[in-house]
Amino acid sequence: MAFDYEAVETDDEKVRAVASEMAGAGLAPLTEQQIAERQEWLAEHRARYEADRIASEQRRLEQQREREAVAKREAAIAAEQQRRERQREIEAGVTQRSLSDLRLQSAQQTGWQRDITRAMQNQAAYQQRQTILSHLEQMINPPEPPPERIVVVEADPDDDTFCGVKVTRPNPRRSWW
């Protein structure tokens, strides 16, 4: 008798027969009670095997659901971290652009201030030069003196005051005049 290694389940009697041939001893035939006990044990074994298989499948399915739930949570966490990182990058870019704009405005303001200061300095220097030139021109070419005004005051023959001073007329009776 040969043993079939490819069989999924081997009959118990065949296993006993092969074992006894290997041991070199003959086998006594089984009684009805032994056959019934073996069939009962085999049924219990198959029931336990099936229950274990079902429990194992349920554990496998439960573990698979847990792995999927963990993977889903990890994916959600990773997506949230990516979103936060992207938000930080955007905020950093906005901050960088704002700082660049402020630097540019500051540079423009500084340039405008420098231009205004330079214009004021140029205007002050121009006015100073013009003042010096006008003083030099006045010293080189003094202004003509105003024409002399001759004031002719005519005396009123009846008035005996001259410029507010009473003038006396010569007395013909006096001899020294």
Residue 103 lies in a domain: yes
Is the pLDDT score of 46 beyond 70?
yes
- Asked if residue 4 is part of any domain, the answer here is no
**What does pTM read for this prediction?**
0.38
* Residue 19 forms part of a structural domain: no
Q: Is 140 helix (H, G, I), strand (E, B) or coil?
A: helix
User: CA torsion angle for 108, 110, 115, 116 (degrees, to 10)?
Assistant: 110
Q: Does a structural domain hold residue 40?
A: yes
Mean pLDDT calculated for residue range 137-146: 83
Q: Does residue 100 lie in a domain region?
A: yes
Rg of the chain over Cα atoms, rounded to whole angstroms, equals 68
Determine the structural domain holding residue 58 and report its residue range: 29-113
Lowest-pLDDT choice from 85-89, 93-97, 111-115, 138-142: 138-142
Tell me how far apart the alpha carbons of residues 93 and 33 are, in angstroms, rounded to a whole number. 87
The b-or-e profile of 38-63 (16+ CB within 10 A means b, else e) is eeeeeeeeeeeeeeeeeeeeeeeeee
Tokens at 155, concatenated? 């005396």
The answer to whether residue 120 sits within a structural domain is no
Task: Give the residue-averaged pLDDT of 52-57.
Answer: 93
Interatomic CA distance for residues 27 and 17, integer angstroms: 7
User: Is the residue at 86 inside a domain?
Assistant: yes
First-last CA distance in the chain: 200
Q: Tell me, what amino acid is at 166?
A: K
Contact 14, 3 (CB under 8 A): yes
Task: Assign 161 to helix, strand or coil.
Answer: strand
Tokens matching residue 25: 């001893």
Q: How far is CA 62 from CA 54, 59, 68, 69, 109, in A?
A: 12, 5, 10, 10, 69
Residue 14 has pLDDT above 80, yes or no: no
Residue 161 lies in a domain: no
